[in-house]
Amino acid sequence: MVARQLAAQTVPTAGGNVVSSDKIGAASGVASLGTDSKVPQAQIPTPKITVGITAPSSPAVGDVWIDTN
């Protein structure tokens, strides 16, 4: 195996692809990890939660619907 050095501004991923450091923790980028090895709460989107007996007319990806029937 040949070792190679990456530029300081890149972070390798498990698949071998490289993510630019300016995309880590940025909107439309990739999540970072906190000191506890978890994604910080601020980087987790808040889902829209709908409670009712009928499904929302135009749900979006990530929305949560709770059927109260």
pLDDT tens digits for 20-34? 888 888 888 888 989
Q: What is the pLDDT of residues 6-61, one digit of tens each?
A: 555 555 556 667 778 888 888 888 889 899 999 998 888 877 777 777 777 777 78
Please list, in sequence order, all residues whose beta carbon lies within 8 angstroms of the beta carbon of residue 49, skipping any fewer than 6 positions away. Answer: 63, 64, 65, 66
Contact between residue 55 and residue 65 where contact means Cβ atoms under 8 Å apart: yes
Count of beta carbons in the 10 Å neighbourhood of residue 21: 15
Global confidence as pTM: 0.43
Cβ-based burial of 30 (10 A; exposed 0-12, middle 13-18, buried ≥19): middle
- DSSP state at residue 30: B
Which residue type is seen at 28?
A: S
pLDDT recorded at residue 36: 93
